[in-house]
Amino acid sequence: MAVSSLLLCLCFGALVKCAAGSDWCYTGCEHTPAHWKDISGTFCGEKRQSPIDIVTSDVKTDQNLHNFTFANFSSENVIKSIKIDKHTVKCILEENEVEVSGGGLDGTYSTIQFHLHWGDTEHHPGSEHTIDKHRYPMEMHIVSLKKGMQDPVNDPEGIAVLGFFINATEDGDMSGPWSNLTSYLKNTAGTVDFNHTISIDDLIGNVDRTKFYRYMGSLTTPNCNEAVVWTVFQEPININKNLIQNFPMKTGISNVFRPTQNTNGRQVFASPATTLPSSHWCYDDHCHFSPSKWQLLPQSYCGGELQSPINIDTRNTLKDNHLKEFTYTKFDEKHAIKYITNTGEAVKCVLKEDLLEVSGGGLGHVYSTLQFHFHWGSRSPDSEGSEHTVDSHRYPMEMHIVNKRKDLSLEDAIKTPNGLAVLGFFIEMMLFPTHAGYENVFRPAQALNNRKIFTSASSAPGPIQLFLLLGCLCALSYNLHL
């Protein structure tokens, strides 16, 4: 396929397939991402696919990843037109005007277009790549073809894509280049001329382009050709959240991103300027700081004497008549949940501020309810994933309702021994590992270290009995999913 034909049909990241037509989609048709591999002539089931989750603890620094040279990225007249289809919004550039080289690339690449990927709403992000399983609201792909190559789509390094995460801010500029760009969005497929003077540099803003990740991958839409040298920049572009919302709202399309693919042993590298964090934690062994090493995390209390969760040995509990009934304020409010987010480590429901409260139960203070989240095991039918155990029995799931003292700020609460109060409920349900996409998100039981466990005067019915562990009221956890 010649470069001239690529300019007509190659829409990297929102590829309108030349070979297989357009019988693919993100949702609502036979060939959703899980079935792209079944489309004749595609490479979507191969071993060098994109996007991926970049696990920063596994990234290696490559001293040869020097700075890029960007030619005409500052030109305000290179965007020729904007094309909107059912897969993306794509800005087509003037031919032979924009180039990129350096940055460890083997040669000079001619930039032909950039396009975007996004999710659904403010709380359902849609970047394609993820960093330590964190997904940004959007991702921009700047697509370039290797100069002098007749068939770049079939060459292992024929295409260079620069990926920029886009982050949502509360108070970003509503009148700048991104505002001008989103003014072209509409719920109608087609191509229109671009009449504003905006440069690629204007859109990228002050992102540090010396900090980036590098790996070898593929197009992220059919035909999924494994021909891409991927550059994913560490710092995101920050734009107003309302401008991000314009993409799904004005175009009428949402969740236009491919799920992350298996790395299959591929190594991800970082430029020398990229700071590789040493403090990312996880529940399994996909990162360095698994639960057995959490105590090594910077500024961590995970090696302390009052850690949670624990095994509750009912034979050694003490009845405390001061543990009276709780008072729950607005817990029956059906519109209390502000939004739900999948953090990559938990599913968290954030509540409306200053609405729900809990007191009594021996707490000694009134607590404002902030959020609740869940811990679970695997997809196995007999999976057990609660954090606390009772007489060494682990339940399928556990819900934590997190509260802070009403008279304290959150910053002060996490520094105060009784600043936080967590209500834990065991759950007999196992849908979360299937729908969330990850599993075994619970910390193993920790040593009791001579702490006493008290029970309320009356026992709760069913499989749940409320145990008040004084250590649970302490803000000693390195991360409470706050």
Kindly list the catalytic residues.
87
> Is residue 363 classed as helix, strand or coil in its secondary structure?
coil
d(CA 177, CA 205): 10
User: 333: which DSSP letter?
Assistant: -
- Amino acid found at 331: F
Nearest one of 207, 177, 202 to 68, comparing CA atoms: 207
The alpha carbon of 193 is separated from its chain's Cα centroid by a whole number of angstroms, namely 34
Going by C-alpha positions, the residue among 202, 257, 160 that lies closest to residue 194 is 202
Question: Contact 130/220 with Cβ under 8 angstroms?
Answer: no
Q: Which of 147, 118, 120 is nearest to 14 (CA)?
A: 118
What is d(CA 75, CA 65) in angstroms, rounded to the nearest whole number? 25
Instruction: Report cis status (omega within 30 of 0) of the bond before 417.
Output: no
Residue 408 CB contacts under 8 Å (≥ 6 apart), including other chains: 416, 419
Tell me the CA distances in angstroms from 369 to 356, 363, 364, 390, 421, one per residue in order: 5, 13, 15, 25, 9
Residue 337, beta-bridge partner list: 351
Q: Residues with Cβ < 8 Å from 34, sequence gap 6 or more?
A: none
